[in-house]
């Protein structure tokens, strides 16, 4: 059973953790949403599709936000306990530093498990679904082209205008201007038409219209006009370049990063980057512990100070930022040198060990001085050699 003291400490840290997660997720989610906005508007998609795609990217955002939010929650809770003199009372009651740290480390373990689940499966699945939906939206020229009352440019050099589109699918007042070849632009005009989908691709079937073909060859302009009762305009030529689809590092499951398919061309070309991504996900489980230990070592050993703990808070923030930057540098280094992957695990473990020693009351500077004193200097070695 969890004691009341443990529940109290957990509650003090969980509230700020959730608030920080909500705030940071909202900010980063907004930047992700703005990136998708242009694509959605250009392809004529609705608000429902837009919000669904942005929600799918939230799990990947949480993998970045949760360690930072945890650090803020732990730091805030410790500062509040010190400011209200609650930690002083706890220490006076015989509770050790590790007794105070235990609930916070339990919360850190929960956050670490959540990050592991998100990074291994949920976040890649969401990003894969976003890419799949965007792939389908870009390939859906019917939605991009058939927007009534507007001149649409689904691709460069192609302009489509539709006056009206009925509920039964009939299209009225069609204008298609194909200027991809400026020397011989072609204009299609028809009274009505229908969009037809077949195994070979989409087709625009037009009725009762004409084809105006201009030629500017040899400096002379000529115009030919052809009337038709029925004409089929092939749209598959615009979707042929969208058949190739691959998943980047963030969009792959952990198994795909470590053991890609032998026929995967992207994995063969970017094997070091995929391996670095895999190590970064596995090492990411240690980052919450690293940041929590930094917060604990910065404040839990502090003495009561009426002036506050702004300096210690600033030091903790700088150390956490520096440690995270070093982690990013190690990731970039691992992309180039695969052997550096071991450092991605050793670095957060080393930070945790140093912080744990500080929490236990071990002064790192004093230990280093004692170790240095145990090592004989060159003059002492020479003196011993001369005396013998």
238 and 181 within one domain: yes
Task: Choose among 175, 179, 181, 187: nearest CA to 157.
Answer: 179
How far, in Å, are 167, 217, 266, 292, 313 from residue 101 at the CA level? 65, 82, 45, 9, 17
Same domain, 19 and 84: yes
> Of 192, 211, 242, which residue sits at a domain end?
242
Average pLDDT of the segment spanning 55-78: 92
Angle between helices 310-336 and 287-299 (to 10 degrees): 150
Domain assignment present for residue 257? The answer is yes
**388 within domain boundaries:** no
Kindly report, residue by residue over 252-266, the tens digit of the pLDDT.
999 999 998 888 888
Same domain, 75 and 167: no
Q: Is residue 282 part of a domain?
A: yes
Domain boundary residue, one of 242, 268, 302: 242
C-alpha to C-alpha distance for 79 and 243, rounded to whole angstroms: 56
pLDDT (tens digit per residue) in 5-45: 888 899 999 999 999 999 999 888 887 777 777 666 655 56
pLDDT at 234: 81
Q: Are residues 348 and 219 in the same domain?
A: no
201 lies in the same domain as 254: no
Query: CA-CA-CA-CA torsion for 66, 68, 74, 79, nearest 10 degrees?
Result: -150
Q: How far apart are CA 251 and CA 131, in angstroms?
A: 9
| 380 domain-assigned | no
pLDDT value at 243 more than 50:
no
**Beta strands 171-178; 186-198: pairing state:** antiparallel
In angstroms, rounded to a whole number, what is the distance separating the alpha carbons of residues 123 and 63? 8
Q: Mean pLDDT in the chain?
A: 83
Token pair for 132:
């799949």
* Domain span holding position 165: 148-242
Q: Is residue 286 part of a domain?
A: yes
Residues 72 and 152 grouped into a single domain: no
Question: Residue 191 and residue 163: Cα distance in Å, rounded?
Answer: 10
Q: Per the domain annotation, does 143 fall within a domain?
A: no
One domain, residues 134 and 45:
yes
Contact assessment for residue 58 and residue 29, using Cβ atoms and an 8 Å cutoff: yes
- Specify whether 299 is located in the same domain as 343: yes
Give pLDDT tens digits for 113-153.
999 999 999 999 999 988 888 777 665 656 566 777 888 87
Has residue 386 been placed in a domain?
no
For 25, other C-beta atoms within 10 Å of its C-beta total 17
Q: Which residue has the higher pLDDT, 378 or 260?
A: 260
Give the pLDDT band of residue 388 (cuts 50, 70, 90). very low
Which H or E run includes 194? Answer: strand 186-198
Same domain, 207 and 278: no
Is 338 exposed, middle or buried, given 0-12, 13-18 or 19+ CB atoms closer than 10 A?
A: middle
**What is the domain-level CATH number for residue 234?**
2.30.30
Residues 85 and 154 occupy one common structural domain: no
Dump the DSSP string for 143-163: HHH--BTSEE-SSTTEEEEEE
Q: Pairing mode, if any, of strands 201-215 and 222-234?
A: antiparallel
Phi then psi for 304, rounded to 5 degrees?
Answer: -60, 130
- Give the chain's largest Cα–Cα span: 116
Give 84-122 as a DSSP string.
TTHHHHHHHTT--HHHHHHHHHHHHHHHHHHHHHIIIII
Q: 282: closest CA among 311, 318, 257?
A: 257
Residue 155: which pLDDT band, with cuts at 50, 70 and 90? Answer: confident
Q: Are 155 and 256 members of one domain?
A: no
Rg (CA), the chain: 32
What is the reported pLDDT for 85? Answer: 79
Final residue of a structural domain among 178, 208, 242: 242
State both tokens at 195.
Answer: 């969009």
Domain count, the chain: 2
CA-to-CA distance for 228 and 92, rounded, in angstroms?
96
Query: Do 109 and 15 share a structural domain?
Result: yes
Q: Is residue 384 part of a domain?
A: no
- Which string of b and e fits 152-191 if b means at least 16 CB within 10 Å? bebeeebbbbbeebeeeeebebbebbbeeeeeebebbbbe
């Amino acid at each position: 059973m969890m004691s009341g003291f443990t529940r109290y400490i957990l509650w003090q840290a969980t509230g700020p953790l959730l608030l920080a997660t909500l705030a940071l997720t909202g900010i980063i989610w907004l930047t992700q949403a703005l990136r998708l906005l242009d694509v959605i508007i250009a392809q004529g998609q609705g608000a429902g599709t837009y919000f669904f795609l942005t929600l799918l990217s939230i799990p990947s955002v949480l993998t970045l936000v949760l360690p930072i939010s945890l650090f803020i929650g732990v730091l805030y809770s410790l500062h509040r306990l010190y400011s209200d003199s609650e930690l002083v009372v706890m220490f006076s009651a015989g509770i050790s530093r590790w007794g105070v740290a235990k609930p916070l480390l339990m919360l850190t373990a929960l956050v670490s498990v959540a990050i592991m689940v998100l990074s291994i499966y949920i976040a890649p699945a969401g990003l894969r679904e976003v890419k799949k939906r965007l792939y389908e939206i870009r390939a859906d020229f019917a939605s991009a082209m058939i927007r009534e009352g507007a001149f649409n440019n689904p691709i460069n050099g192609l302009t489509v205008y539709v006056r009206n589109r009925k509920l039964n699918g009939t299209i009225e007042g069609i204008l298609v201007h194909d200027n991809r070849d400026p020397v011989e632009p072609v204009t299609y005009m028809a009274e009505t038409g229908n969009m037809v989908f077949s195994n070979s691709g989409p087709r625009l079937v037009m009725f009762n219209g004409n084809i105006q073909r201009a030629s500017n060859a040899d400096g002379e302009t000529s115009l030919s006009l052809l009337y038709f009762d029925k004409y089929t305009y092939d749209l598959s030529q615009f979707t042929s370049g969208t058949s190739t689809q691959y998943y980047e590092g963030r969009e792959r499951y952990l198994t795909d990063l470590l053991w890609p398919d032998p026929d995967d061309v992207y994995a063969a070309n970017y094997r070091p980057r995929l391996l670095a991504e895999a190590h970064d996900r596995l090492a990411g489980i240690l980052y919450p512990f690293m940041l929590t230990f930094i917060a604990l070592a910065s404040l839990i050993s502090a003495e009561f100070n009426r002036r506050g703990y702004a300096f210690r808070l600033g030091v903790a923030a700088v150390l956490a930022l520096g440690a995270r930057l070093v982690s990013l540098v190690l990731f970039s280094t691992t992309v180039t040198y695969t052997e550096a992957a071991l450092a991605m695990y050793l670095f957060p473990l080393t930070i945790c060990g140093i912080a744990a020693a500080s929490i236990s009351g071990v002064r790192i500077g004093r230990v280093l001085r004692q170790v240095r004193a145990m090592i004989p200097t060159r003059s002492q070695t020479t003196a011993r050699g001369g005396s013998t």
